[in-house]
Amino acid sequence: MATIDTHQPALGKDDKSVPLWKRYHHGHHWRTADDEFDAAKIGIWLFLSTEILLFSGMFCAYTLFRLMYPEAIAAGSSYLDWRWGGLNTVVLLISSFTMANAIRCVQLDKQSWARINLIITWLCAALFLAIKLTFEYGPKWAQGKRPGVLFNYPFASETHEPIWWGIYYVSTGIHATHVIGGMALIALLIYRQAKGSYGPSHYTLMEGVGLYWHIVDLVWIFLFPLLYLVH
């Protein structure tokens, strides 16, 4: 936040030669742009705490059923291929890095680099979903490894395997929903950044989406070992 320069002269709203971010004026109920930025950041962090609590319910359910039916969880987990999960982890980590890079580039007013980084972030998110659908959800669904009533995998070794698939699909499904939401937000950033909305003195939304994207990444960092690696 220290990088915000509040001493920018207030420029005319209609002067098209000046980039949009220099023409940005903070909301009228704020005293300074700094206050507005800080408030947005507190808001984002509070929102992220709700995200963590949302996923904590799934982690709680996972722990309980691991204790209740360790064999079923182990059997279910053995169907997952750690290589696809690992690849997806790498993909998300790269996207987190490029997201952070994009924000730094905007702070330094390197707009083309910011754009490239944002686009890579978006592509990584799409790649994550593509891998998830093509190599994980798709084949497993086709084999009958489905949640609840839809489960009809004939070679199940444990009676409670459907519960495992319930936990697997719900937790990764909610995570994937967050990835889709993130893609929409990053697409919005790409569009606005191309119009010149963000620069050293104004990048609030980028900062917020960036933090959100890191949390989505972080949740996967916990889901990956719990679902794929621990047997």
Partner 1 sequence: MTTVDRSHDHLGGHAGHHDEGSYLTPKYGPIATVWDWMTTVDHKKIGVMYLFAVLFMFFLGGVAALVLRTELLEPTRIVDGQVTGAALRPFVTGEVTPTSVGQLYNRVMTMHGAIMVFMFIVPGIPASLGNFFLPLMLGAKDVAFPRLNLASWYIYVFGSMFGVFSILQGGVDTGWTFYTPYSTTTAGQPQVIAMVLAAFILGFSSIFTGLNFIVTTHKLRAPGMGWFDMPLFIWAVYSTSIIQVLATPVIGITLLLLVFERVLQIGIFDPGLGGDPVLFQHFFWFYSHPVVYVMILPAMGIISDVLAVHCRKRLFGYRAIAFSSLAIAAISFLVWGHHMFTSQGELAAMIFSFLTFFVAIPTAVKVFNWIASLYKGSITFTTPMLYVFAFLFLFSIGGLTGLPLGTLSTDLHLHDSYFVVAHFHYVMFGGTVIAFLAGLHHWWPKMFGRMYNERGAQIGCLLVFVGFNVTFFTQFFLGTQGMPRRYASYVDEFHMLHMISTYGSYVLGLGFLVHLAVFVHSLFLGEKAPQNPWGGLTLEWETETPPIEHNFHEEPVVTHGPYDFDEVVPPGWDPKDYPLPAPAPAGSKH
- 3-state DSSP call for residue 30? coil
Interface positions, 184-203, toward partner 1 (CB under 8 A): 192, 195, 197
Site string for partner 1, 60-89 (x = CB under 8 A): xx--xx--xx--------------------
Write the burial class of residue 21 (CB in 10 Å: 0-12 exposed, 13-18 middle, 19+ buried): buried
Binding flag, residue 26, partner 1 (CB under 8 A): yes
Which residues are within 8 A (CB) of 171 and not within 5 positions of it... i.e. 6 or more apart?
Answer: 55, 58, 62, 223, 227
Nearer to partner 1, 36 or 217 (CB): 36
Q: How far is the CB of 135 from partner 1 (least distance, A)?
A: 23
Nearest Cα to Cα of residue 214 among 116, 131, 122, 93 = 93
CB 50 within 8 A of CB 139: no
Any idea how long the chain is?
231
Binding flag, residue 20, partner 1 (CB under 8 A): yes
Binding flag, residue 208, partner 1 (CB under 8 A): no
Which residues are within 8 A (CB) of 157 and not within 5 positions of it... i.e. 6 or more apart?
Answer: 75
Binding flag, residue 5, partner 1 (CB under 8 A): no
CB 207 within 8 A of CB 2: no
Which amino acid, 116? I
**Which one of residues 57, 70, 86, 138 is an interface residue with partner 1 (CB under 8 A)?**
57
Site string for partner 1, 108-147 (x = CB under 8 A): ---------------------------------------x
Binding flag, residue 10, partner 1 (CB under 8 A): no
Q: Where along the sequence are the contacts to partner 1 (CB under 8 A)?
A: 13, 20, 23-31, 35, 38-40, 42-43, 46-47, 49-51, 53-58, 60-61, 64-65, 68-69, 147-150, 159-160, 162-163, 165-167, 169-170, 174, 192, 195, 197, 205
